[in-house]
Amino acid sequence: MTFRRRLSVSSLAFWGLSVFLFSPNVDAEDQPVSFTSGTITSDHLEYRPAESLMVAKGHAVLISSQTRLEADEIHIRISSQTATASGKVYMEDERMTLYSDQLDYDWGLSTSLLENGYVQDPPWRLWGRRMRRLGPERFSVQRAAMTSCDLNPPHYHFRAKSMHFLSKKRATTYKTRLAFGTDAVFYVPFYTRSLRDNRWTYTVDPGRSSYHGYYAKSIFTYPLTLNSYGRLYWDHFQLSGNGWGAEYNYFRPDVKGSFYGYRITDRKAKMERWNLRVGHWQQLAARWSLQANALYLSDLDFNNLYFRDDTRRVLQQAESDAAVTYQHPVFTTRMSVEHDRVFNVQKRRFIGQRSALPMATLQTVPLLFGPSVYFTLSGNARHEYVRPGDPINPDFDRFRKSADAAANLSRQFRPSKDVTITPSAGMDETWQSWRAVGGTVDLNDIYQGHGFTGLNFRHRLTRNLDYDLSHSYRVRWAPNSLKRDHASPGANDKGTEANAISLFSSYRLGAGFWARASSGYDLRLLEGEKIKSPRQKIAPPSVEMSYRPTRWMELFHRQTFLLYPVRRPQTGQFSFNAGQREIASFNSGFSYNSGAPGQVQIRHGATFPLTTGWWLDGEVLYTAKGTGKLNYDTVQMDEKRLTVRRDLHCWAARGGFEQRPGVYEFFIRVDIKANVAARQGVASPEERQFYPTRKQEIP
């Protein structure tokens, strides 16, 4: 029988076709054939009972509860449980979308064969010359290609002679090439990757260093739970050997921390090099918290060569501590331990310099005693082991107990709405079981304290301008007494440690400009001091300014002037920042110190697009040397960095080099943005708390 018009027909056989041919949720070998209803529409529908064949031509559409099949023509052989769709074939089910020129389906075996097939399985899509669907989620593809880029044509794709694809789980390819655009740039005989979302990432950064030779740094990152992840490090260095490390990070609102360890047998330096870092913070109760930090490393140059992206290149001191803190609305108290290690040049390793166990501290907030009267109290107590000096002096290598307390009382007067006067007075007392006097040790208990007063006059001249005029006076008491210390060994101040007036002024014009200036005058007459000029007693004036005319531009300058014995700048700093990093930016600055005459440290950096998709990011730091002022004829390069980034819709690449004293290296990385998003989804911003000097662009 033949239908010459567009029809919609319900049939038991049609449902069987839609379920067992096209639904990925039914396995024909495991399920009995059962029939209900389905719908097929076309411009021309023909049924041939003798051949058990149904032919739908012209906009043929077959719909079941889970599947939609569209084609120019569909042949359905009910007796053999097969069907052939041809001409712009489109099929959509619960899991994916398929396109092909021709589709042969065997719903008895739950398989299909596609010619020039194309499958969308977001975020991935694959296509091939000949594609066989082996099950609801499994494909075998000849002359295959795969990409996660959603552009046409894609910015990147994998080409392979053959591929096995398991939806949302894994893709395995043979004789694989990675292509950017139409150009193949990398070949590997075998490649496999997980298609699961945000489970693990693995990166390899190849490069070359003047110290290590050629190298490959690899990082494996795996989320262990919703609030923790781990990393494994493996670095292969041509000259240095193999370095291994691990890192574990955990983060919740009430507890967070990190453990990091790395070790390498450095063939070039002929020594074991290692680094161990521990950080932990925990909210024990509403007002109780615990924090700990530990740092141990083999040598002071470890960070410069091995610890990834640490801005502190050389460490000469390693500090470790742990503390329990109680925070009350009125006071804060803490019980802690500390351990400091310094690098010993003769022994070529870190040695203990000071250990404090335990330490107790107390600090109150300003307590209001009557109208505008405030009282503060603080105290510390410690038991410590001290090992100063290099080489070690046995007389100093001993335990010491100490304690101190300080109290301060202040009152605020307001004669007018623009004037505030605040006098203050206080004292502190220190006790220690022994002290160093010259090259010997005084084993007697030592009590020594201070008395101090202060007076601050604040005046708001205008809405934008105000100043503070202050006087401070501080005397040192003689050991074990409350009398002025007139004869302390080596001191020429007769017990008066401070007697000075100071001036601090501030001017602010909106949010775009502010300026500050400060100086002081020492009123003391030190023993043996000869006053040749009043400038001799003036503290070096300091001026700093910040100007931000727009959101994308900022200038900052700070200058300190030395007035005696000659008038000249003592320290200076200038910085200029313009633009936005995600668009284009430039920064520059310099700094100098009179302690290093004829030297200026200069920094320049910029980030900007070369062309569409290409970015350049660079920075140089160098020291200009000369006779001073503007006469500099020698440049010493301290550090330089250049990074070129290629940023496209779905992939990114970067490469560049870095040079600093003793190290010269270049590197390269190619990233699919799906991998970048996965790494960003795993990493926690809490890393900044435990690795404050680490550049945060770590995988």
By residue range, what is the domain housing residue 515?
Answer: 423-529
- pLDDT above 90: residue 24: no
In whole angstroms, what separates CA 309 from the centre of its chain? Answer: 10
196 within domain boundaries:
no
Read off the pLDDT band of 427 (50, 70, 90): very high
Neighbours of 297 (CB within 10 A): 22
For the chain, give the number of residues: 699
Output helix, strand, coil percentages for the chain, rounded to the nearest 5.
5, 65, 30
pLDDT at 17: 40
Mean pLDDT of 475-485: 90
Residues 483-527: pLDDT tens digits?
Answer: 899 887 778 888 999 999 999 999 999 889 999 999 999 999 888
Residues 224-262: pLDDT tens digits?
Answer: 888 899 999 999 999 999 999 999 999 999 999 999 999
Read off the pLDDT band of 122 (50, 70, 90): confident
pLDDT at 212: 92
Read off the pLDDT band of 391 (50, 70, 90): low
Mean pLDDT of 175-197: 84
DSSP SS3 for 20: helix
- pLDDT above 70: residue 28: no
pLDDT at 439: 67
Percent of the chain with pLDDT over 70: 88
Mean pLDDT of 18-30: 36
182 within domain boundaries:
no
125 within domain boundaries:
no
Residues 55-93: pLDDT tens digits?
Answer: 889 888 888 767 788 999 988 887 777 888 998 898 887
- pLDDT above 90: residue 585: yes
123 within domain boundaries:
no
Residues 552-562: pLDDT tens digits?
Answer: 999 999 999 99
pLDDT at 602: 94
Q: Is the Cβ–Cβ distance between 38 and 13 less than 8 Å?
A: no
Q: Is the Cβ–Cβ distance between 103 and 114 less than 8 Å?
A: yes
63 within domain boundaries:
no
- Which of 137-141, 151-155, 506-510, 682-686 bottoms out in mean pLDDT, i.e. has the lowest? 682-686
pLDDT at 27: 36
DSSP SS3 for 19: helix
Residues 570-584: pLDDT tens digits?
Answer: 999 999 999 987 789
Domain count, the chain: 1
Read off the pLDDT band of 680 (50, 70, 90): low
pLDDT at 202: 81
pLDDT at 324: 97
Read off the pLDDT band of 9 (50, 70, 90): very low
pLDDT at 689: 77
459 within domain boundaries:
yes
Sole residue written with tokens 């909210």:
283
- pLDDT above 50: residue 15: no
d(CA 293, CA 162): 52
Closest to 571 (Cα-Cα) out of 562, 584, 563: 562
d(CA 691, CA 696): 9
- pLDDT above 50: residue 36: no
Q: Which residue has the higher pLDDT, 593 or 196?
A: 593
pLDDT at 440: 73
For residue 346, how many C-alpha atoms fall within 13 Å in the half-sphere facing its CB?
A: 4
- Which of 306-320, 460-474, 505-519 bottoms out in mean pLDDT, i.e. has the lowest? 306-320
d(CA 182, CA 161): 16
The per-residue DSSP string of 564-580 comes to SSS-EEEEEEEEEEEEE
d(CA 320, CA 337): 8
Mean pLDDT of 24-53: 60
Read off the pLDDT band of 692 (50, 70, 90): confident
437 within domain boundaries:
yes
pLDDT, averaged across the chain: 85
- pLDDT above 50: residue 3: no
> In the structure, how many helices (H) and strands (E) does the chain have?
4, 44
- Which of 139-148, 166-175, 666-675 bottoms out in mean pLDDT, i.e. has the lowest? 666-675
- Which of 1-10, 78-87, 453-462, 556-565 bottoms out in mean pLDDT, i.e. has the lowest? 1-10
Q: Is the Cβ–Cβ distance between 508 and 467 less than 8 Å?
A: no
- pLDDT above 90: residue 293: yes
Closest to 689 (Cα-Cα) out of 397, 389, 278: 278
- Which of 162-176, 185-199, 336-350 bottoms out in mean pLDDT, i.e. has the lowest? 185-199
- pLDDT above 80: residue 162: yes
- pLDDT above 80: residue 372: yes
Q: Which amino acid is at 291?
A: Q
Read off the pLDDT band of 35 (50, 70, 90): very low
Mean pLDDT of 36-46: 75
439 within domain boundaries:
yes
Mean pLDDT of 338-362: 90
- Distant-in-sequence, close-in-space partners of 595: CB < 8 Å, separation ≥ 6: none
Q: Which residue has the higher pLDDT, 618 or 663?
A: 618
Tokens of 72: 């120019």
d(CA 614, CA 604): 20
